[in-house]
């Protein structure tokens, strides 16, 4: 009996075949950005290391002022790092942008209100020296029916999908979106992300900044959580949620020496993230509240034991607050 080799796995595009051997889409090493002002200096990005492979859809998540936009500006070559390095598709951001290999969808700007949606895409093609068929790009952005509408008459969500259509014109390897759905209603967000995900299925690398945990959860393969200019969590949404979805166990131990001994023992228990003392009360953040409660009740004279859940938002605050305390 003869055997034939297994067929090669189907690759959606030539882009996908280039992935394995190619340089990462983004590689940030020891990235620092300081802004100086008369009132002192702000370290917006504080030693950020991040490697994004080709074809990944990555959410860059963080509270206000975490450094998301500043990092994105450096990836797009719009700002220079104070120190550290930025490599995009194996070269400088400027080279990648000039070659049309990186495109961005920002929150505002970039549109002329008196043009129609179709004319806007046509003009974008002209800027790249290409005669493009706007209808094809509008269809991919899910706004084929808006070709003749004036930009000024489009809703915020429709304008964002138009920015997305424009970003597709150079067929970039890397698409960067900075808080693209801010201000959109639920339906607008869903339609916007459906268009992005459909496009990313072809192998394009997508990096987006957002405040919305649910958006990162639903649409990203990987979530990078930043706070105070540093990465505080990095993994799949499920992994980050698992990190974030612990419980808080608290209890009181009156005697100082016994409490200090209990703190040490709790820190040695598996699945304990942190132990904090507030007066006689111990506050324990943990992924295994049963084990912590059992320990407190059986191995210590703890009383008034309480177990409470942390929701994702609480956990996000906890993770980002821990980062600022370090």
Query: Per CB under 6 A, does 122 bind ligand ATP?
Result: no
Query: Per CB under 6 A, does 68 bind ligand ATP?
Result: yes
The answer to whether the beta carbons of residues 68 and 209 sit under 8 Å apart is yes
Q: Which of 4, 21, 39, 64 binds ligand ATP (CB under 6 A)?
A: 64
DSSP secondary structure letter of residue 82: S
Q: Which of 55, 62, 93, 172 binds ligand ATP (CB under 6 A)?
A: 62
Q: At what angle do helices 237-244 and 312-325 cross, to 10 degrees?
A: 80
Site stretch for ligand ATP (CB under 6 A), options 60-68, 87-95, 143-151, 155-163 = 60-68
Site string for ligand ATP, 199-218 (x = CB under 6 A): ------------x-------
Count CA atoms within 13 Å of residue 243 on its CB side: 17
Q: Total residues at the site for ligand ATP (CB under 6 A)?
A: 13
Q: How far is the CB of 66 from ligand ATP (least distance, A)?
A: 4
Q: How far is the CB of 226 from ligand ATP (least distance, A)?
A: 7
Closest Cα partner for 309 from 285, 274, 273, 278?
285
The answer to whether the beta carbons of residues 16 and 203 sit under 8 Å apart is yes
Site stretch for ligand ATP (CB under 6 A), options 35-43, 111-119, 157-165, 169-177 = 35-43
Query: Per CB under 6 A, does 66 bind ligand ATP?
Result: yes
Site stretch for ligand ATP (CB under 6 A), options 65-73, 246-254, 270-278, 301-309 = 65-73
Residue-by-residue DSSP string for 219-280: H-SEEEEEETTEEEEEE-HHHHHHHH--EEEEEE--SHHHHHHHHHHHHHSTTEEEEEEETT
The answer to whether the beta carbons of residues 290 and 302 sit under 8 Å apart is no
Contact residues: ligand ATP, CB under 6 A: 35, 37, 42, 44, 62, 64-70, 211
């Amino acid at each position: 009996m003869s055997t034939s080799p297994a067929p090669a796995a189907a690759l959606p595009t030539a882009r996908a075949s280039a992935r394995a051997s190619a340089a990462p889409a983004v590689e940030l090493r020891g990235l620092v950005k300081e802004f100086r002002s008369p009132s002192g200096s702000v370290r917006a990005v504080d030693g950020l290391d991040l490697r994004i492979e080709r074809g990944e859809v990555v959410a860059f998540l963080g509270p206000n002022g975490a450094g998301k936009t500043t990092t994105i500006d450096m990836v797009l070559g719009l700002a220079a790092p104070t120190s550290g390095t930025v490599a995009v598709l194996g070269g400088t951001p400027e080279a990648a942008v000039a070659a049309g290999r990186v495109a961005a969808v920002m929150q505002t700007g970039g549109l002329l209100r008196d043009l129609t949606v179709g004319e806007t895409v046509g003009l974008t093609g002209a800027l790249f020296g290409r005669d493009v068929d706007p209808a094809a790009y509008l269809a991919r952005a899910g706004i084929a029916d808006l070709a003749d509408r004036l930009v000024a008459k489009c809703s915020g969500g429709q304008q964002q999908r138009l920015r997305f259509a424009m970003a597709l014109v150079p067929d970039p390897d890397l698409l960067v979106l900075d808080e693209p759905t801010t201000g959109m209603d639920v339906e607008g967000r869903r339609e916007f992300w459906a268009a992005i995900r459909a496009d990313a299925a072809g192998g394009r690398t997508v990096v987006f900044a957002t405040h919305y945990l649910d958006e990162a959860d639903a649409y990203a393969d990987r979530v990078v959580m930043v706070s105070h200019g540093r990465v505080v969590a990095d993994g799949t949404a499920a992994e980050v949620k698992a990190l974030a979805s612990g419980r808080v166990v608290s209890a009181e131990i009156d005697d100082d020496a016994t409490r200090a001994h209990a703190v040490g023992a709790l820190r040695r228990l598996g699945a304990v993230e942190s132990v904090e003392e507030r007066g006689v009360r111990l506050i324990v953040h943990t992924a295994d509240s049963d084990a912590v409660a059992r320990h407190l009740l059986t191995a210590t004279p703890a009383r008034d034991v309480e177990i409470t859940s942390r929701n994702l938002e609480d956990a996000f605050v906890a993770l980002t607050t821990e980062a600022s305390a370090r």
